[in-house]
Amino acid sequence: MIDFTAKHAEVTARLRAAERVSGRAEGSVQLLAVGKTHPAESVRALALVGQRCFGENYVQEAQEKIPMLADLDLAWHFIGPIQSNKTRPIATLFQWVHSVDRWKVAQRLSEQRPVELGVLNICLEVNISGEAAKSGVMPMNLWPLAEAVARLPNLRLRGLMTIPAPLAEGADESSARAPFRALRALFEDLRRRGIEMDSLSMGMSDDLEAAVAEGATMVRVGTALFGSRNPKIL
């Protein structure tokens, strides 16, 4: 059994240290615990040591897990690839979606969001490294998508998300930071053009320090909190 108290304390300490060395205000970066492939009991254990925001990648897994934890006051963030025929459960179960990368998905999420739940918070996923087979909108197509999504009635555009390409062996700190700096630049550009946003979802177990240094407001951490994932499921 994993010692969730210790894991949570370790990751929180890394986050606070990263804020300090980057001159960021203490507590300005939110920790999103990514529980994909881990059972509801593990999420519950982490919730009991004070973790409140959780990320999930797979619709079917989330549909099983989230109701089992309904007695806890948790915030659920969808961070996985989205098939347009799976938008309804996402629009119903989650408070945030970080992985919107096309108009059709945004439009469906807005249409299917139950009004009584209030707006669904959205980050647009950007393919910052320009990888061919990867989800995320290409930077050159970001502006028209952001402008359109910002006008959808049941969504609130909050910011941008990215998963950089894996680093080459022996890459240094500055190559780790480059994609995050590029996402931050896109974020600032959209804000200058009048899109109101406050969130940069970037950084994972291995690179959260680099992301915080470049302005992350939310880091998505799986392995460092839950241990390694079950490869049979993922």
Ligand X SMILES: *Cc1c(COP(=O)(O)O)cnc(C)c1O
Q: Minimal distance in Å, beta carbon 99 to ligand X?
A: 7
CB of 224 to ligand X, least distance (A): 6
Look up residue 113 and give its two tokens.
């969001």
Site mask for ligand X (CB under 6 A), range 150-189, x = bound:
-------------x--------------------------
Are the C-beta atoms of residues 155 and 109 closer than 8 Å to each other?
yes
- 3-state SS of 125-154 is EECCCCCCCCCCECHHHHHHHHHHHCCCCC
> Which CB atom, from 67 or from 227, has the smaller least distance to ligand X?
227
Beta carbon nearer to ligand X, 55 or 215: 55
C-alpha atoms less than 13 angstroms from C-alpha of 59 in its C-beta half-sphere: 14
Q: Does 136 bind ligand X (CB under 6 A)?
A: no
Cα–Cα dist 17/93, whole Å: 33
Over the window 68 to 107, marking each residue x when it contacts ligand X by CB under 6 A and - when it does not, the resulting string is: -----------x----------------------------
Q: Which of 223, 214, 201 is nearest to 33 (CA)?
A: 223
Residue nearest to ligand X (CB): 222
Tokens at residue 21, please?
A: 């060395």
- Please report the sign of the dihedral spanned by the C-alpha atoms of residue 210, residue 211, residue 215, residue 218: negative
Q: Which x/- pattern, by CB under 6 A, does the window 35-54 give for ligand X?
A: -x------------------
* Closest alpha carbon to 19 in 11, 54, 185, 4: 11
Candidate list 57, 110, 121, 127; residue touching ligand X; CB under 6 A: 57
Beta bridge partners of 219: 31
Residue 17 or 148: the one with the smaller Cβ distance to ligand X is 17
Structure tokens at 130: 């320009």
* CA dist., res. 62 & res. 72, Å (int): 15
Distance CA 82, CA 100 (A): 7
Judged by CB under 6 A, which stretch of 88-96, 109-117, 134-142, 221-229 contacts ligand X? 221-229
Binding mask 19-38 for ligand X (x = CB under 6 A): ---------------x-x--
Residue (136 or 215) nearer to ligand X, CB: 136
Report the interface residues with ligand X, using CB under 6 A: 34, 36, 57, 79, 163, 204-206, 220-224
